[in-house]
Amino acid sequence: MAKRSFIEKKRKILTLLFSMVLGVLILFSQSRLEEVYFLSEIFYFTGIIIVGVATVGRLWCSLYIGGHKTKELITVGPYSICRNPLYFFSFLGGIGIGFASETLTVTLLIFSAFLFYYPFVIRSEEKKLLRIHGSDFDRYMSKTPRFFPSLAGLYEPEEYTVRPRLFKRRIFDALWFVWIAGILELVEALHEYNVIPRLFRLW
């Protein structure tokens, strides 16, 4: 069994710590972009659009991977356009949340975290899948992009077996970004009514 890196071992803890830092930044900060009203609105609207795309994409992935992960090699649907579509749409969702926060700081922090963190996770999972599926996964790797999708390879089967109970669980996971976007609006309202203080300002 391959030795896991420090980042893989501490994955949950690192995710929790990063989320707490972002939470504090958002909860007690004010965006300097609010001084230019139209610009802050553009940021939020762009973020909501990206979050919407990410949510639909994650639901699309969940439809295909629910109950099949690692046991079967999924190469159709979203997995025909890239090998890690769930991570790609999660990346979009994170960037969307950054924009919805109406700050460049949060957006860049999320982008940097994904850039630093997910390559380790992806490489580890690919090694595992290669051990399980052997030459089939090797061929899949040779023709399908790792992260950024290529629609040229899109293939959707006429029929596909879905496990409803597992899919329903994954629906809630896919909606996280929508809920966070809603929380951001609530935090902004609490700022405006001086319920939560704004201790510092972010770009």
Number of domains in the chain: 1
Is the residue at 29 inside a domain?
A: no
Whose tokens are 């979050």? That residue is 51
Rounded CA gap, 202 and 128, in Å?
41
Q: Rounded to an integer, what distance in angstroms lies between the CA atom of residue 163 and that of residue 118? A: 28
**Interior/surface letters 46-67, b for 16+ CB within 10 angstroms, e for the rest:** ebbebbbebbebbbbbbbbbbe
Residue 147 in tokens: 């992260």
114: in domain? yes
* Banded pLDDT at 100 (limits 50, 70, 90): very high
In this model, does residue 59 exceed pLDDT 60? yes
**Residue 15 corresponds to which tokens in the numbers above?**
């995710």
| 165 has pLDDT over 90 | no
Question: What is the mean pLDDT of the segment spanning 96-121?
Answer: 92
Residues near 51 by beta carbon (within 8 Å), at least 6 away in sequence:
93, 96, 97, 100, 177, 178, 181
In-domain check, residue 21: no
Q: Is residue 11 domain-resident?
A: no
In a domain, 25, yes or no: no
| Predicted TM-score (pTM) above 0.75 | yes
| Cα angle for residues 112, 114, 117 (degrees, 5° grid) | 105
User: For position 89, which CATH number holds?
Assistant: 1.20.120.1630
Q: What per-residue confidence (pLDDT) applies to 7? A: 58
**Is 93 inside any structural domain?**
yes
Q: What is the pLDDT of residues 81-92, one digit of tens each?
A: 999 999 999 999
CA 146-149-150 angle, to 5 degrees, is 110
Q: Residue 66: which domain range?
A: 35-43+54-170
pLDDT at 69 over 70: no
